[in-house]
Amino acid sequence: MCNKRILVTGGAGFIGAHLCAKLLQQGHEVICLDNYFTGAKANVSSLLNNSRFELVRQDVTLPLHFEVDEIYNLACPASPVHYQYNPAKTTQTSVLGAIHVLELARFLKAKVLQASTSEVYGDPAIHPQDESYWGNVNPIGPRSCYDEGKRCAETLFFDYHRQYGVNSKVIRIFNTYGPLMNLADGRVVSNFIVQALQGQDITIYGDGTQTRSFCYVDDLVEGMIRMMATESDCIGPVNLGNPCELTMLKLAENVLRLTGSKSKLMFKALPQDDPRQRHPNIELAKSKLAWEPKVALEEGLQKTIAYFRKVLAVRSFREER
Ligand code: NAD
Ligand code: UDP
């Protein structure tokens, strides 16, 4: 394989850090750009000694000047708690970020991949969701800054392709989890695991019958790299996710069993516009990328639990000193 120089925006975040590590492993040079809003240097600290790795503190809402062959655009807070903290900034990050990576790709004739999301389907009226579905998104609700920002970014990716011939690619990522999620990320898998390990109540929003389908991060990263490697006529969008769908109650049950925790369930209000169900149709990824997830939920949860056990142990050791 020919080695490339690759820009990963949002590279110090959860998925970005795994992607940077994998690209380095494959022999590429990686420039990781991040403003550390939800990411951290610590996520890529093990890569800092690698001479093919560079870390740059920058915001994607500012123009980008790099010489690269490929760009993965991941910069954007992904947890509802964080993307709703400064919603106007979240939309700017998706829209201006997309414009800046696309302008750079256009100038350099580089390939560019957008990390879009299953949230473009909103609270889906069809089930499972395939890529031909246009979605059911509230344009003015508390989640809209994320959903509509990502939808607009997809529009820009397709317009730059049609108008300027940019070699652009769009993947729609479904709920992904694994090591390197932030302790305070706020998403369901990390919340449940951290609560279970600390003996705190497990916070179920609503009655817990809403569903999601969870993909382990290694599987996702493999799919992203395969999408980038496709021919220039394969633009997407392509769903990447694990079709194994379950309710949040069932997820809580699994986490309690695997951690051996005695935590109790605590029911809290369901956030506005929380999608009722989510389940990817991945037939397109199977046929175009020869990709499907390999890591079962049980195995992925065990690895993630082991990671959080270590993080919590280090934290309590530091607090004791
Ligand atoms: P994350 O919050 O851990 O990572 C996002 C990264 O982007 C962080 O490092 C953050 O500091 C950085 N960032 C945010 N705003 C920025 C800005 N303006 N300029 C530069 N950097 C900025 O989230 P993640 O789960 O790793 O998600 C990565 C990408 O994948 C996001 O674009 C997200 O929308 C997408 N995605 C993730 C999931 C999932 O389940 N994890 C699902 C669908 C889509
Ligand atoms: N959720 C929950 N308890 C939590 C965090 C989330 O029950 O502590 C629910 C949330 O309401 C949603 C599902 O879990 O129905 C997935 O939430 P997450 O924030 O992980 O992702 P998203 O809603 O963006 O799919």
| pLDDT at residue 321 is higher than 80 | no
| pLDDT tens digits, one per residue of 182-223 | 999 999 999 999 999 999 999 999 999 999 999 999 999 999
* Long-range contacts formed by 186-190: CB under 8 A, 24+ apart: 186/79, 186/80, 186/81, 186/82, 187/78, 187/79, 187/80, 188/212, 188/248, 188/251, 189/214, 189/251, 189/255, 189/301, 189/304, 190/304, 190/308
Residue 207: per-residue pLDDT: 98
CA of residue 204 to ligand 2 center, whole Å: 8
Contact 49, 91 (CB under 8 A): no
Q: What domains are defined for the chain? A: 5-181+215-241+278-294 (3.40.50.720)
Q: Is 38 in the pocket of ligand 1 (CB under 6 A)?
A: yes
Query: What is the average per-residue pLDDT within 55-76?
Result: 98
Mark out the alpha helices in the chain (DSSP H runs): 14-25, 80-83, 87-108, 144-164, 188-197, 217-228, 248-259, 283-289, 297-320
Tokens of 267: 């029911």
pLDDT-based confidence at residue 1 (cuts at 50, 70, 90)? low
CA of residue 225 to ligand 2 center, whole Å: 27
Query: What is the average per-residue pLDDT within 78-103?
Result: 98
- The rounded distance, in Å, linking the Cα atoms of 263 and 265 is 7
Question: Who lines ligand 2 at CB under 6 A?
Answer: 79-80, 175, 187-188, 191, 203-205, 210, 212, 248, 271, 274
Output the residue whose Cα is nearest ligand 2's atom 14.
188
Q: Which of 72, 83, 121, 146 is catalytic?
A: 146
| ipTM of the modeled complex | 0.99
Residue 97: per-residue pLDDT: 98
Read off φ and ψ for residue 73, nearest 5 degrees. -100, 100
CA of residue 95 to ligand 1 center, whole Å: 14
Query: What is the average per-residue pLDDT within 55-68?
Result: 97
| pLDDT at residue 267 is higher than 80 | yes
Query: What is the average per-residue pLDDT within 291-299?
Result: 98
Residue 84: per-residue pLDDT: 96
Contact 189, 250 (CB under 8 A): no
Residue 231: per-residue pLDDT: 87
